[in-house]
Amino acid sequence: MTSSVNLLDFDLNGLAAYCETLGEKRFRATQLFRWIHQRGASDFSAMSDLAKSLREKLAGVAHVTALPVITQHESKDGTIKWLFDVGGGNAVEAVFIPEYADDGDDSVLDRGTLCVSSQAGCAVNCRFCSTGHQGFSRNLTTGEIVAQLWFAEHFLRRHLKTDQRVISNVVMMGMGEPLQNYSALVPALRTMLDDHGYGLSRRRVTVSTSGVVPMIDRLARDCPVALAVSLHAPDDVLRDHLVPLNRKYPLDELLTTCARYLEHAPRDFITFEYCMLDGVNDAPEQAQKLIDLVRRHAGEGLRCKFNLIPFNPFPESGLVRSPASRVQSFAKILSDAGIVTTVRKTRGDDIDAACGQLAGDVKDRTRVHERVARQRTVMLHQVGSAVVDANGKTS
């Protein structure tokens, strides 16, 4: 299987080009793409409307394979976290966050968000992020990014006993800096948006970035989806410390780029994420400085909302979550200035699935390695194999 191609690596154009190398027409690629992404199929012999000759050809040269699931945890609040093995002792996580609307006696799934990883580890090394503390291992491939959605969507349809779409929103807020893995990210986003793939609207796919300025401009041209920018500080001195990438792309340059992005974006605002750290970035004067900062860029067309994230502590950070009252006062100062501000609910923290807790108690790459090895062994005992595909089949 090593020399064979994983078809999860292709967006529809890529798959069409690949099918051409097999002497097949473009519409065959569309059929194949629909089987894979809309129906969760991985077995070519089951793709009944494809010519038998094509199915046999594909079976010899290609495969559709999800990432091995190391663990799956379900929180009391319905959040589900998967730890996937990406080889070489590395693991990445994806988290499903359901939101239910109460409909009389029944609760109906209103929105299903999947938080997806883009890298194993991260090179940006933000002070408050456990992924950053792990260091950088490697970029995920397009197939590894898409595999998280492919697996989760088709697993959840079976789990919730529905043939309707379950995942309505994707946020690139798992492990890694998506804009430092640009070439793999864009085909993955296109697969999410494609009507023959997951058919998600651009407004419901969000790339979250610590501020890789040139790549924000490229995303505007190549695949403008909703943009969230992790701000965390109202001035360069503090941001240089919290988000070291700020030394390369300082705040004014970043905010000017955000304003430019809005000319192409599917939403008319940028979401600024702000992780609330006790005594570090949560003072009322800092809220006022943030207001001044965004007002300075309003003339360029910058429109924004703030999402305040209560810090999820981990031991090595040496940082503490801001008290709820301080978060509320900070939010009020921003709101009173006319900036829409929300405070993020923490979800799934009983299973370490909250922001910045991804990778849970994993302290460094060596520990990831040990944990992957240990849990793989457990899986092998439980299901006879560590590989579970989207149809729940093990191989």
Which of 16, 80, 120, 122 lies at the binding interface for ligand SF4 (CB under 6 A)?
A: 122
Q: Which is nearer to ligand SF4, 42 or 148 (CB)?
A: 148
**Does 113 engage in binding with ligand SAH (CB under 6 A)?**
no
Alpha helix stretches (DSSP H) within the chain: 12-21, 26-33, 52-61, 130-134, 142-159, 182-193, 213-222, 236-242, 251-261, 284-296, 324-336, 365-383
Which of 94, 166, 262, 275 lies at the binding interface for ligand SAH (CB under 6 A)?
A: 275
Pick what 125 binds: ligand SAH, ligand SF4, none; C-beta below 5 to 8 Å, kind-dependent. ligand SF4
Name the phi and psi angles at 75, rounded to 5: -85, 165
> What distance in Å separates the CA atoms of residue 255 and residue 303, rounded to the nearest whole number?
10
Count the residues of the shown chain that bind ligand SAH, applying the rule CB under 6 A: 15
Q: Which is nearer to ligand SF4, 139 or 210 (CB)?
A: 210
Pick what 335 binds: ligand SF4, ligand SAH, none; C-beta below 5 to 8 Å, kind-dependent. none
Given 122, 223, 304, 355, the catalytic residue = 355
**Does 131 engage in binding with ligand SF4 (CB under 6 A)?**
yes
CA-nearest of 330, 354, 338, 328 to 294 is 338
Taking CB under 6 A as the binding criterion, the range among 8-16, 118-126, 252-260, 335-343 that sits at the site for ligand SF4 is 118-126
Pick what 91 binds: ligand SF4, ligand SAH, none; C-beta below 5 to 8 Å, kind-dependent. none
Query: Which residue matches tokens 């697969």?
Result: 191
Q: How many other C-beta atoms lie within 10 A of the C-beta of residue 289?
A: 15
Given 93, 144, 153, 177, the catalytic residue = 93
**Does 124 engage in binding with ligand SF4 (CB under 6 A)?**
yes
Q: Minimum distance from CB of 242 to ligand SF4 (Å)?
A: 9
Q: Which is nearer to ligand SF4, 299 or 315 (CB)?
A: 315
User: Is 223 annotated as catalytic?
Assistant: no
Residue 206 carries which DSSP code? E
Do the beta carbons of residue 296 and residue 264 sit within 8 Å?
no
Q: How many other C-beta atoms lie within 10 A of the C-beta of residue 284?
A: 12
Per-residue mark of binding to ligand SAH, 182-221 (x: CB under 6 A): --------------------------xxx-----------
**Does 255 engage in binding with ligand SAH (CB under 6 A)?**
no
CA-nearest of 227, 122, 107 to 171 is 227
Q: How many other C-beta atoms lie within 10 A of the C-beta of residue 311?
A: 25
Which of 210, 257, 281, 357 lies at the binding interface for ligand SF4 (CB under 6 A)?
A: 210
CA quadruple 42, 43, 49, 52: dihedral, nearest 10: 140
Which of 177, 194, 282, 389 lies at the binding interface for ligand SAH (CB under 6 A)?
A: 177
Do the beta carbons of residue 157 and residue 40 sit within 8 Å?
yes
| Interacting positions 92-111 with ligand SF4 (CB under 6 A) | none
Query: Which residue matches tokens 């929180």?
Result: 75
Do the beta carbons of residue 278 and residue 322 sit within 8 Å?
yes
Taking CB under 6 A as the binding criterion, the range among 54-62, 127-135, 280-288, 377-385 that sits at the site for ligand SF4 is 127-135
Per-residue mark of binding to ligand SAH, 91-110 (x: CB under 6 A): --------------------
CA-nearest of 207, 346, 191 to 265 is 207
User: Is 300 annotated as catalytic?
Assistant: no
CA-nearest of 98, 94, 100 to 73 is 94
**Does 125 engage in binding with ligand SF4 (CB under 6 A)?**
yes
**Does 132 engage in binding with ligand SF4 (CB under 6 A)?**
yes
> What distance in Å separates the CA atoms of residue 220 and residue 223, rounded to the nearest whole number?
6
**Does 309 engage in binding with ligand SAH (CB under 6 A)?**
yes
Helix (H, G, I), strand (E, B) or coil at 298: helix
Q: Minimum distance from CB of 255 to ligand SF4 (Å)?
A: 17
Taking CB under 6 A as the binding criterion, the range among 57-65, 120-128, 336-344, 359-367 that sits at the site for ligand SF4 is 120-128
Active site residues: 93, 355
